[in-house]
Structure formats: structure tokens, C-alpha cells
């Protein structure tokens, strides 16, 4: 089994990407630290067995010693807000008080759907990424783009007239893409995956969770692979 090391990147279906920048510990860290309870030592094979036993018994405190820092780029603002509900984490989010929403944009292509989807989240139904019948789909997509353009034009006008950026941003779309750091231990990640890989989770959040899961399978395949299998989450990664 090939184990990869950070930094590693996975793209999110619908736009943006997740990058695992750093991690504390390795795949067998929870098993090694769990042995402090008995001041014991174990071979690599013994630690692999212990790791699975810890998950079976739901003895998750040793997994708090396994920590991951993710750089998440280009997710909609409202998905970033949902991440904050997972309180046992350390987020650090881009500020639209100090940065212009068009920062990094080299050329404005107001009529280009891909341009807008890089700046503001366009619902996946309009991009052919999620099957769902919508009446007058093309007309509605054009209307969405006109709304986005009007929002940015009004924002720029307000700033040019002297309004503070933090006040002017009230007219920007809720789907404006943002960037953040998100640091979590494996115990919290397990809880996050149980909730956000679920079929009832929002599509955009599920795609973010899937991208994170693919990263974790590359760096801690024993720990995370067994967790997915035990909780019947493996098949959800393929949906």
C-alpha cells in the first residue's frame, strides 16, 4: 500500500479544491499513543490491529493526537459558514473586509459561465453536474449571471463612492467563493464525515467532504479506510 505525504490536493466537483498542507502524526499514531494507558509497546502489525480495535470500541480519544491542516479554496460562502458548525476545529477564513472579491481576476468575462463559476458558485444543476429537471433552464441561467454581474457592479460602485468594503459586501451574492484554513483532529473529522458524507447532506458540502476523504485515504489509509468501512460510508464516495 502506497502512502503519500503532504502537500496533496484534491479538486471539488463543482469548483474549488482542498489541499492537505500538513499533518501531525502518521497512520499508526493513535495506536502508539493509546499504549500510554499500559506503558506498553507494540510492533507495526500489533499497532494495526490495535488501531482497528480502537475504532471498533469507539475509543476515539487517541485519534485527537492525529491532526490535519487543510487549505480549502473556492467554496461558496454558505458552505464555509456550515463548516463553522463543526466547533472542534480551528478555522481561519479569508476577509472580504480587507480583500476585494475580484482579487486575482485577470480578465472579466461577464457572459462566460465558467468565469462566473470560478468567482461565485453556480448551482450544479445548471452545469450538468447534478441531474434535476428545471424548467426554462437556459433562461434562468442567463438571469443568474445578470444578477451576479449587477451585484458586482453595484459593489464596485459603492466602494468607488467611498462606502466601506465591509458594508458594501452586503450586496454580494451568498454564493461568493471564499478561502480558508481548517485544522481538525481525526476524531472530529470522523464526526464530520459521518454527518457530511450522508445522503441527506447538501450536495456542495458532500462534494467537499468527498474531496477531503480522498486526501485522507492517501495519507492514513488504514485509519480512515477502516473507519469508512465500519460505518458503511465507502460507497458514498462513489455517488
> What are the tens digits of pLDDT across the range 179-200?
999 999 999 999 999 999 999 9
Q: State whether residue 61 is helix, strand or coil.
A: helix
Torsions phi, psi of 176, nearest 5?
-50, 130
Alpha carbons 178 and 87: distance in angstroms, whole number: 19
Alpha carbons 160 and 107: distance in angstroms, whole number: 20
Return all residues near 111 (Cβ < 8 A) that are at least 6 apart: 145
CB atoms within 10 A of CB 199: 7
Among the listed residues 32, 169, 196, 206, the single catalytic one is 196
Residue 2 has pLDDT above 90, yes or no: no
Alpha carbons 28 and 51: distance in angstroms, whole number: 7
Average pLDDT taken over every residue of the chain: 93
214 belongs to the catalytic site: no
Peptide bond into 7 cis (omega under 30): yes
pLDDT at 1: 63
Boundaries of every domain in the chain: 8-92+177-238, 103-171
Q: What percent of the chain has pLDDT over 90?
A: 76
pLDDT at 147: 96
Binning pLDDT at 50, 70 and 90, where does residue 155 land? very high
Q: What percent of the chain has pLDDT over 70?
A: 100
The rounded radius of gyration (Å) of the Cα atoms in the chain is 21
Alpha carbons 43 and 45: distance in angstroms, whole number: 5
The domain 8-92+177-238 having CATH identifier 3.30.1360.170: the answer here is yes
Q: State whether residue 128 is helix, strand or coil.
A: coil
Angle at the Cα of 214 from the Cα atoms of 74 and 219, rounded to 5 degrees: 115
Residue 31 near residue 144 (C-beta atoms within 8 A): no
> Which tops the pLDDT comparison, 160 or 92?
160
Torsions phi, psi of 185, nearest 5?
-90, 165
Q: Which pTM was predicted?
A: 0.92
Q: Which of 65-69, 90-94, 194-198 has the lowest mean pLDDT?
A: 90-94
Which long-range contacts does 25-29 make (Cβ < 8 Å, 24+ apart)? 25/65, 25/66, 25/67, 26/220, 27/3, 27/51, 27/219, 27/220, 27/221, 27/222, 27/223, 28/222, 29/62, 29/65, 29/66
Return all residues near 232 (Cβ < 8 A) that are at least 6 apart: none
Rounded average pLDDT over 206-223:
97
Amino acid at each position: 500500500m502506497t502512502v503519500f505525504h503532504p502537500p496533496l490536493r484534491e479538486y471539488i466537483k463543482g469548483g474549488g479544491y482542498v489541499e492537505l498542507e500538513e499533518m501531525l502524526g502518521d497512520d499508526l499514531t493513535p495506536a502508539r499513543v493509546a499504549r500510554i494507558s499500559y506503558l506498553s509497546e507494540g510492533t507495526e502489525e500489533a499497532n494495526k490491529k490495535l488501531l482497528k480495535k480502537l475504532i471498533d470500541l469507539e475509543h476515539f480519544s487517541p485519534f485527537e493526537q492525529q491532526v490535519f491542516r487543510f487549505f480549502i479554496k473556492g467554496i461558496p460562502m454558505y458552505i464555509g459558514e456550515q463548516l463553522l458548525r463543526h466547533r472542534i476545529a480551528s478555522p481561519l477564513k479569508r476577509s472580504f473586509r480587507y480583500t476585494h472579491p475580484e482579487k486575482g481576476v485577470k480578465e472579466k468575462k461577464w457572459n462566460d459561465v465558467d468565469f462566473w463559476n470560478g468567482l461565485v458558485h453556480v448551482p450544479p444543476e445548471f452545469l450538468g453536474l447534478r441531474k434535476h429537471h428545471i424548467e426554462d433552464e437556459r433562461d434562468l441561467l442567463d438571469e443568474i449571471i445578470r444578477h451576479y454581474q449587477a451585484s458586482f457592479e453595484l459593489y464596485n460602485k459603492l466602494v468607488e463612492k467611498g462606502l466601506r468594503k465591509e458594508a458594501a459586501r452586503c450586496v454580494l451574492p451568498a454564493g461568493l467563493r471564499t478561502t480558508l484554513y481548517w485544522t481538525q483532529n481525526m476524531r472530529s473529522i470522523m464526526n464530520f464525515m459521518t454527518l457530511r458524507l450522508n445522503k441527506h447532506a447538501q450536495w456542495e458540502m458532500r462534494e467537499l467532504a468527498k474531496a477531503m476523504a480522498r486526501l485522507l485515504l492517501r495519507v492514513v489509509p488504514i485509519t480512515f479506510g477502516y473507519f469508512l468501512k465500519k460505518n458503511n460510508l465507502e460507497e458514498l464516495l462513489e455517488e
